Structure 1
Amino acid sequence: MTAVFPFQPRWRDLSADLTDTRLSLTDGQHPLIDLRLERGDTLELHLQDGHPGASLQGVWAACYWLFASDPACQQLTWHLDPPPPAALRSGLLRATEVAGHYQCLRSLFWQQPRPWTGDAPVAAYPQHMVISGGKRHPLRAPKPVGEVYRRFDARLGSWISLRTLDIEADLERFNRWQNTPRVMDFWEEGGTLERHRQFLETLAADPHTVTLIGCIDDQPFAYFEVYWAKEDRIAPFYDVDDYDRGIHMLVGEQAHRGPHKVASWLSALTHYVFLDDPRTQRVVAEPRADNAKMIGYMQSHGFHCEKEFNFPHKRAALMMQSRERFFEGCELV
């Protein structure tokens, strides 16, 4: 079976020739890796006889292809002598008790920040505690600008990406979305262009919130806010950690509503948040308690309802997803 997935960087193609016993990968016209597959309790990967040693890119591409092709696959066993050193340092591969045998675990693979986050720094921002607004919290890294996440979603056959909001480019779109009756019912933020400019400028000046535009095949369809929970109004309502992140979600384009689209963008948004800082152990959200559809969507993708509580402006459901649960049951493709 021969197939093609778009591959990072996006102007290149990863192609595969896959059978029950063989996987051969090329990047454009360049061979990456040629493997013999041995199927048993786990999928075992052997370099074909005469093939040169495996490169880091070849190992990564083979893991990606096999995990993306089969969401039920949780572990790969590689037979390598030696493996690329960077694969061990990064956690892409881990040594076993058997010499020459190395494992790639699905839960570790999807925590690799690249290529999903592009050229963003891999190391966590140094911790330095500060006090702002009467709250003690870590100093936050400068906000990103531009695209922060991109991944090809095989379920949709489309690219799902996140970029930071640009007020001049996105104001009219944001205004249209917020004035949609369906959105107004839950966000209650309808208004004029000038009101929304002030709204977005306030968030742009707020170091604890990043505003994002979600895109499918580079077409904007949603608005998201990602915030540090420790500095947010949600903090008093649960045992907040220094690196918990919260999310607000708005799908603006009618054509991109529905559970199959939620499966793509909610997993992408949560994935990005966990990749952005490896110290983040929980992602939280506080939809209105009567928003049964969104709560149901979130529960079907690993979030649980911790409790209901009263904000001054609404009765909210505290939805929570842990890093461990997200990656251990990771269904990213």
Structure 2
Amino acid sequence: MTTKTSGYIREAYVAPLDHSFTLPDNTLVRSTESDGLIQVYLKSSSEPVVSFEPHSRSLRTSPHGIVNNDRAVSSPAVLLKASQLSLDDFWAALYAFWVRQSEKEVIPLILDIPNADEILTYLTSTGLAFTPPDSQTRFELLLIRASFWQGAGAPVKRHWLQTLVPHPSVSTTPFPFFQSFTRGEHVLTTHPLRPPKPAPGSVIYSRFIFTVNEHLRFIHIDANNPTHFETYARWQNSDRVNVGWRERGPDEKHRKYLADRLADPHIMGFIVEWNDEPAGYGEMSWVKEDPMGTYVGGLGDYDQGTHLLIGEEKFRGRQRFTAVMTSMKHACFLRDPRTEVVVGEPRADLPIVPRLIAYLPQELNREFEFPHKRAVYFTLRRERFFQAAMLD
């Protein structure tokens, strides 16, 4: 059998001329667009807090030092105008801006704002923007879309990843490296010590999904929460889910499975919610100490993997499936900047495999054998994800 290994086409979201969404802290963001002018309103304000205006100045947007001069591309700049603006609100305004400019990788920006020095330092020190060689003043910058979606400069309360480790109030560095070790039935490996998981019931990830106009959240599953446990058990016992997961059984089996997941530092299960309504169950794992690391080999210290089931029929469909899968990968890349690859290993005979090829910018590496199944090995690389994933 020949398996199709490519076919992904990014479907850009086109925001309406008057567009609203909410941030993870429930702040309302509204933007309007007319003749290239983008204005952003926050918290039901009647006056825009930020305007992005077309400007006559152009800056080179093709990579400096890479693209030959005869191929170089320049793009017109956008003038940022605002009164004194907090960094939190500026990030929210950038969010609204990038939703409308999602087809571009970099955009020239000129600052015209009373606290321009503060905004300049914020943009360049977080990596949200840089000063290119052809700028005429230090307030001419190139905004980077991929940096924004990697969470650069995001306020803690508005960050899509709601349980940052270490917490930024304690440290701004990644969780430190210390060698650890796992020995199990299918695993024998050294790996970095993993950070503690958030308490069961904690919000892991939160993002407004524009294509369905609803808020998506991942909640660390709490087996002591009747809603969590009962919905999880019902999903696993359904005929459709059991085809892929094969975890059907009595409550005792489900409680043991969730207890084992909670006790295992390398994996975390979570409830998928749409507008606070349970929709499915997913898992994120560090794959160096996962059975996949044993049977595939070559995985890095910080590479991760995901699993997903959508339990509720009403929450199936291409747009929701793509949003949940993309958000799981997004959460993995956000929770450790050293993660270069997020992998997947669905059973090779599942009908979902072609959709995973079509809906995510990942590579089908090969098929391989687990003791319990023949699987497809998918790899999704960080650079490719933030270049092409359907995050808007």
Q: CA deviation at 1:66?
A: 2.4
Moved segments of 4+, more than 3 Å: 38-43, 51-55
Q: Deviations over 1:224-246 (max 9, x none)?
A: 11111010111121311000101
Question: 1:213 and 2:213 equivalent?
Answer: no
Written as runs of structure 1 = structure 2, the 5 A alignment for 1:1-333 is: 1-10=17-26, 12-30=27-45, 31-38=48-55, 42=75, 44-48=77-81, 51-52=82-83, 55-80=86-111, 81-82=116-117, 84=119, 85-97=121-133, 98=135, 99=137, 100-112=139-151, 114=154, 115-118=159-162, 120=164, 121=167, 123-133=173-183, 134-145=188-199, 146-169=202-225, 170-236=228-294, 237-291=296-350, 293-300=351-358, 301-333=360-392
Q: CA deviation at 1:56?
A: 2.6
Structure 1 pair 27–253 and aligned structure 2 pair: CA distance change class (3 A)? same
How much does 1:217 deviate?
0.9
Alpha-carbon distance in 1 for matches of 2:83, 2:330: 34
Q: Distance in 2 between matches of 1:284 and 1:225?
A: 12
Relative contact order, CA 8 A, sep 6+: which one is greater?
Answer: 2
Partners of 1:83 and 1:95 in 2: CA distance = 15
For the 8 Å contact 1:56–1:87, the answer to whether it is kept is: no
Q: Distance in 2 between matches of 1:119 and 1:183?
A: 29
User: Displacement of 1:119 after TM fit?
Assistant: 5.5
Counterparts of 1:143 and 1:22, CA distance in 2: 44
Q: CA 1:90/1:213 → structure 2, altered by over 3 Å: closer, same or farther?
A: same
TM-score (norm 2): 0.79
- Secondary structure (helix, strand or coil) at the match of 1:261 reads helix
1:166-214 Cα shifts (integer Å, max 9, x gaps): 1022111111000110111121110011110011101111111111111
Compute the TM-score of the two structures, normalised by the length of structure 1.
0.93
Measure, in 2, the Cα distance between the counterparts of 1:207 and 1:272: 17
Alpha-carbon distance, 1:54 to partner = 5.2
State how far apart, in whole Å, the 2-side matches of 1:306 and 1:327 are: 20
C-alpha distance 128-108 of structure 1, shift in aligned 2 (>3 A): same
Distance 1:209 1:34 in 2: 44
- Please give the per-residue CA displacement for 1:37-67, whole angstroms capped at 9, x wherever unaligned: 248753522134xx43554334423321122
Letter in 2 for 1:160: L
Q: Deviations over 1:129-151 (max 9, x none)?
A: 12221411000000123001111
Question: Which amino acid in the other structure matches residue 46 of structure 1?
Answer: L
In the alignment, the residues of structure 2 paired with residue 255 and residue 135 of structure 1 have an alpha-carbon distance, to the nearest angstrom, of 41
For 1:161, the aligned partner's letter is R
Assess if the C-alpha contact under 8 Å between 1:71 and 1:331 holds in 2: no
Between 265-274 and 231-240, the greater mean CA deviation after superposition: 231-240
* Structure 1 residue 32: Cα displacement: 2.6
Please say which of residues 117-126 and 257-266 is displaced more in the overlay: 117-126
Percent identical among aligned pairs is: 29
Residues 242-270 of structure 1 deviation map (CA, whole Å, 9 limit, x = unaligned): 00101111111111112111111111111
Q: What number of residue pairs does the alignment pair up?
A: 329
Contact 2:179 2:191 in 1 (8 A): yes
Indicate the larger mover: 93-102 or 262-271: 93-102
What amino acid sits opposite 2:54 in the alignment?
Answer: L
Distance of 2:198 and 2:261 partners within structure 1: 14
C-alpha displacement of 1:72: 1.4
The SS at the match of 1:234 is: helix
Give the letter aligned to residue 37 of structure 1: P
What is the SS of the residue equivalent to 1:168? coil
CA contact (8 A) 2:306 2:343 kept: yes
- Indicate if the aligned counterparts of 2:30 and 2:96 stay in contact, CA closer than 8 A: no
User: How far apart are the structure 1 equivalents of 2:249 and 2:44?
Assistant: 53
CA offset digits 1:69-90 (Å, max 9, x no partner): 3431322211125351222211
1:74-113 deviation line (CA, Å, top 9, x unaligned)? 2221112535122221111222121221111111110016
SS at 2:372 equivalent: coil
Say which SS state the counterpart of residue 50 (structure 2) adopts.
strand
Alignment partners' CA distance in 2, 1:234 and 1:38: 52
CA contact (8 A) 2:194 2:265 kept: yes
Residues 21 and 183 of structure 1, relative CA distance in 2, 3 Å threshold = closer
Residues 144-171 of structure 1: CA distance to partner in whole angstroms, max 9, x if unpaired? 2300111111111011111100102211
